[in-house]
Amino acid sequence: MSETPLALVTGASRGIGAAIAHVLMPGHQVLLGGRDADVLARRAEELPGARPWPVDLTDFAAVREATAEIDRLDVLVHSAGVAELGRVEETDADSWRRQYEANVIAVVELTRLLLPALRAARGHVVVINSGAGRNANPGWGAYAASKHAVRAFADALRAEEEPNGLRVTTVYPGRTDTEMQRGVIAHEGREYQPENYLRPDSVAEAVLSAVSATPEAHPTEIIIRPRQR
């Protein structure tokens, strides 16, 4: 068995997840999590040593099957998620359910299934949250509620699992130049100005700094914002 640490990054087909997979590669084998097997295969070609891990995280039977053979996991990065914006009066129950299922329940269940593997490695769980996980703005109610919920999950997991050697870091990026963010801009009718947004690489470097922390250090939260210009 290889002694190279193993990392699983969800949402690795694009954006922040892809950037995180890239920065972890020199020191880790990386499982590239996502739904589109073709995209993940192309991404793996760019990252020698990476392997596609095509799973719909809201298909919990498939997740159980896909995690069954992972007996040791050093790093688990939750970067997958969805955002459906709208005022409370415009957001129906199905939208709330979709966002909670993808942004909260999928994170919880994947982590739960992998806890034995993470404990075996005294591993590290990184949850990519959002500024919306700290502040809820008009039109962001359902999404922000899901991000507040996953923040609570990460806090509880940290308190429960630190005695077992696990570290749990929540990263709160501000506005980041991703496809999801551009969709938000279009939804809000604003002009896209790239200089006002973080690069996915910047968020990835923050994740790398947490994962690379010395053993006695536990980086619990990282807040990263675009520099004001």
pLDDT (tens digit, 9 = 90+) per residue, 60-110? 999 999 999 999 999 999 999 999 999 999 999 999 999 999 999 999 999
Computed over every residue of the chain, the mean pLDDT equals 92
User: Are the beta carbons of 158 and 124 closer than 8 angstroms?
Assistant: no
Pick from 118, 129, 213: which is nearest to 166 by CA?
118
The Cα–Cα gap between 193 and 188 comes to 14
pTM, entire model: 0.91
The confidence score (pLDDT) of residue 78 equals 98
pLDDT band at 191 (very low <50, low <70, confident <90, very high): low
Confidence of residue 43 (pLDDT cuts 50, 70, 90): very high
More confident: 190 or 48: 48
Output 207 or 175, whichever has higher pLDDT.
207
CA distance 166 to 168: 7
User: Per residue in 149-168, pLDDT tens?
Assistant: 999 999 999 999 999 999 99
For domain 6-224, give the CATH number: 3.40.50.720
> Which residues have a catalytic role annotated?
143
CB atoms near residue 160 (< 10 Å): 12
Phi, psi values for residue 221, rounded to 5°:
-145, 140
Confidence band, pLDDT 50/70/90 cuts, at residue 174: confident
Of 108, 104, 54, 60, which is closest to residue 82 (Cα–Cα)? 104
